[in-house]
């Protein structure tokens, strides 16, 4: 298996609850590398591009409102099999269904405020990374 890269966002509730270190530590302990990282407040236009596939879903407006409600940490994470590995580490979107030991199983409070985003496919990872980072700012 080759090294992959994926986008991770520590969402506003993770930042507000001061869980950035805990979340990033779990990612690094799994053996993945945080190759680029920044804090920012996501503007509405960027949020709409990022979540465009959910545009016709009933939760879309709440999703956009939530992700733009406060500062986030955006990171590019690299490592062998990191897309699927990080999705497993994050746990189910619904924290009640997320197993203990996962980020959401241990810390998330509800489906909307679920602490973390991770790209779900290689194609989405590349698209999402390009939304938040310039290629020359990435180290791989």
Active site residues: 117
Do the Cβ atoms of 76 and 129 come closer than 8 Å? yes
* Cα 63 to Cα 136: distance, rounded to the nearest angstrom: 30
Q: How far apart are the first and last CA of the chain?
A: 17
DSSP 118: E
Do the Cβ atoms of 17 and 109 come closer than 8 Å? no
Instruction: State how far Cα 12 lies from the chain centre.
Output: 11
The torsion defined by the Cα of 130, 136, 137 and 140, in degrees rounded to 10, comes to 90
């Amino acid at each position: 298996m080759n090294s992959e890269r994926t986008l991770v966002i520590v969402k506003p509730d993770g930042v507000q609850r001061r869980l950035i270190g805990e979340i990033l530590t779990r990612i690094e302990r799994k053996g993945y590398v945080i190759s680029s990282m920044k804090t920012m407040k996501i503007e509405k236009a960027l949020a709409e591009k990022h979540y465009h596939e959910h545009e016709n879903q009933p939760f879309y407006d709440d999703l956009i409102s939530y992700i733009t409600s406060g500062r986030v940490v955006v990171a590019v994470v690299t490592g062998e099999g990191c897309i699927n590995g990080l999705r497993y580490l994050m746990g189910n979107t619904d924290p009640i269904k997320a197993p203990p030991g996962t980020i959401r199983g241990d810390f998330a409070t509800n489906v909307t405020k679920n602490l973390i985003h991770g790209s779900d496919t290689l194609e989405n990872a590349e698209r999402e990374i390009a939304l938040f980072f310039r290629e020359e700012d990435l180290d791989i």
